[in-house]
Structure 1
C-alpha cells in the first residue's frame, strides 16, 4: 500500500524537526563541511551530532565522503538549501506581521490610556 503524499510530507517535516538537524542543514547549505567544523559551529556533543547526521543520512538529505581521515558532509542536492531559505523567508514574514500587530496594539492601548478633553 502506497503512503499518501501528505503523510510522506508530514514524516519528512517530522524528520527535520530537530534544532541540530536544522542547523546542520543551514551550514551545509553554505557548502560541504568536515565533522569537526560542524562540531565547532554547532557546539553539541560529538555523539549528539553523530546521531543527527545519521538521521539526515538515512533520509537521503545529506551525503558523506571521506577525505583522508576526515569525514565531509554535504547536501544531497540543492533543494534542501532552497527549503531552508524558504523557511527563513516565511518566518521573517510571520515575525514582521506579529511586530506590526504589536505596534497597532500598543498604539491602541496608548490612545485608550491618554486622557480625553471634554
Structure 2
C-alpha cells in the first residue's frame, strides 16, 4: 500500500527537523563543501556532524563525493535552497506579526 503524500511530506519535514541539518543545508546553498569546512562553520563534534550528514545523505537531499581523504557534500538540487528561502520568508512574516502584537501590547500598557 503506497504511503499517502501527506505522510511522505511529514516524514520529509521530520528529516529536516534538526538545527544541525538545517545549518548544513544553509551552508551547502553556497556550493559543495568539504566536511572540514562544515565542522569549522558549525562547531560541533565530528561524530555528531557525521550522524547528521548520514541522515541527509540517506534522504537523498545531499550527495557525498570522496577525493582521497576529503569528503565533499553538496545539495542534490536547487529546490532545497528555495524551501529554505520560503521558510525564511514565513518566519519573517511571523516575527513581524509578533513584533506588531508586542508593540500593541506595550502601547496598551503605557496608556493605562
Q: TM-score range by the shorter chain?
A: over 0.9
Q: Which residue of 2 aligns with 1:116?
A: none
Structure 2: gaps spanning 5 or more residues: none
Q: Which residue of 1 aligns with 2:33?
A: 33
RMSD: 0.7
- Report the Cα distance in structure 2 between the residues aligned to 1:77 and 1:67, rounded to whole angstroms: 21
Greater Rg by CA: 1
TM-score normalised by structure 1 residue count: 0.92
Q: Which residue of 2 aligns with 1:6?
A: 6
**Would you identify which runs of 4 or more consecutive aligned residues in structure 1 move more than 6 Å?**
none
- Report the Cα distance in structure 1 between the residues aligned to 2:30 and 2:92, rounded to whole angstroms: 20
Structure 1: gaps spanning 5 or more residues: 113-118
Q: What's the secondary structure of 1:14's corresponding residue?
A: helix
Q: Which residue of 1 aligns with 2:44?
A: 44
TM-score normalised by structure 2 residue count: 0.97
